Amino acid sequence: MKDSSARHRIVVLGGGYTGVMAAIRVARRTRRHGGQVTLVNPTARFNERLRMHQQATAQEMAHVDIPTLVQGLDIEFVQAWATGIDPKHNGVTLATDHGVASLDYDTLVYAIGSSTPVDVVPGADLHAHTLNDPESAAKLARTLTEMPDGGTVVVGGNGLTGVEAATEIAESFPSLRVVLLGRAEPAPKMNAKARAYVLGALERLGIESRTGVEITKVLPDAVELAGGELIASDATLWTTGFMAPALAADAGIEVDAQRRIVVDPQLQSVSHPSILAIGDAAAIRRPWGVIHGTCQSGMPSGAHAADTIGRLLRGKAPKPFRFGYIHQPVSLGRHDAVVQFTKADDSPGRFHLTGAAAVTYKETVTGSPTTTYGLSRRWVIPIAFLARKGPRQAG
């Protein structure tokens, strides 16, 4: 590690969409004010989480390295797992390929994301696939590739992640039977026309969509529904729910029921102000409720955290985070999509896109983070260009 005792040590845990955004921007915001930035992530490869459903269907993804994304800035990249936080002494314990290491900080940016929990329903941890990381997606891709014609894939959870995964699988493996199961109707936050388009796409791709059902057990070759019905399954994909890692909770930092760090309007931990939490790992409250984790909200929160640190180092008071949703872009395979434009509180607006126009829009959105990082290395992009700002109330 570098000797940074004379500088303000800023450690960013997590090299996803939010963490990389925070690291790049805080390096620029603090370069004249003694900032020393260290970015920690388990892998050097940048994981495009927005494309996990593509990875799960054996599609080749572009290789993007995190060190390349942050090149040209005073950022030290450390490839390691964060295994512990000591907020009392401002330290982080790391697991590296060479053993255990430690890292001290003056300010910690917590950007380690969230994952789909598999401990809620019996058997899911043993028999279900997830899209929690590239390794999980690659495992599902191998299973799908080796599955014989006529095999059944059950997708548990018909939220937007489940819809994207089911349509991608059905299009990429047309010989397989895909069953999408959920409690509510797919795309419940879309307007009637956009929702009808999603349902039509499921039907067009031959996906058997069932609503009002609850999976109570995942078996090696089936899922069991409430009431005892069994649905045969050669592969089960679990996409429902989310939970942040236990790292913050184990450290005694105040978290919510999903283990997200509870933050104030400036994104500082309410229990440990030297820690800022962003993205999926933060419980960011707005007037309408807590922001749900998406790239759409994550990157602006990372940018705002960087601005907060910059203001604090300059002796200025930080400003509250303002954010409002813009859209819900959902791919329906590689050749179809729907984009629901929303109000700031994520409720559906009047307008939506479908078909080729929506595909182009969705692909532009999916590919925009790496472009934004490239621009951010040279300029400090106004947060207003990253996302729509919501009402002025800090929540």
Total domain count, the chain: 2
pLDDT at 8: 96
141 in the same domain as 95 = no
Q: Could you give the C-alpha distances from 319 to 141, 198, 277, 304, 348, in angstroms and in order?
A: 44, 39, 15, 9, 29
**Is residue 38 in a domain?**
yes
Q: What share of the chain has pLDDT > 90, as a percent?
A: 86
251 in the same domain as 375 = yes
Predicted structure pTM score: 0.93
pLDDT at 391: 44
pLDDT at 384: 60
Q: Residue 155 in contact with residue 165, Cβ under 8 Å?
A: yes
- Look at residues 183, 217, 238 and tell me which one is the last residue of a structural domain: 238
**Is residue 249 in a domain?**
yes
248 in the same domain as 109 = yes
- Whether 27 shows a pLDDT value over 60: the answer reads yes
> SS3 for 157?
coil
Name the range with the highest mean pLDDT among 78-87, 280-289, 370-379: 78-87
Rg (CA), the chain: 21
> SS3 for 146?
helix
248 in the same domain as 234 = no
276 in the same domain as 137 = no
Domain that holds residue 137: 124-238
- Look at residues 196, 220, 238 and tell me which one is the last residue of a structural domain: 238
251 in the same domain as 103 = yes
Categorize the per-residue pLDDT at 394 as very low, low, confident or very high, splitting at 50, 70 and 90.
very low
378 in the same domain as 297 = yes
- Look at residues 188, 208, 238 and tell me which one is the last residue of a structural domain: 238
Interior angle at CA 63, CA 362 and CA 364, nearest 5: 15
Q: Residue 64 in contact with residue 58, Cβ under 8 Å?
A: no
**Amino acid identity at 365:** V
Measured CA to CA, the distance from residue 157 to residue 184 in angstroms comes to: 9
Tell me what the mean pLDDT of segment 355-383 comes to: 85
Categorize the per-residue pLDDT at 344 as very low, low, confident or very high, splitting at 50, 70 and 90.
very high
- Whether 348 shows a pLDDT value over 70: the answer reads yes
**Amino acid identity at 123:** G
Beta strand pairing call for 152-156 and 285-286: unpaired
Tell me what the mean pLDDT of segment 333-343 comes to: 97
Q: Could you give the C-alpha distances from 97 to 42, 92, 94, 178, in angstroms and in order?
A: 10, 16, 10, 40
Give tens-digit pLDDT for 90-136.
999 999 999 999 999 999 999 999 999 999 999 999 999 999 999 99
CATH number at residue 86: 3.50.50.60
205 in the same domain as 157 = yes
177 in the same domain as 263 = no
**Is residue 329 in a domain?**
no
**Is residue 56 in a domain?**
yes
Q: What share of the chain has pLDDT > 70, as a percent?
A: 95
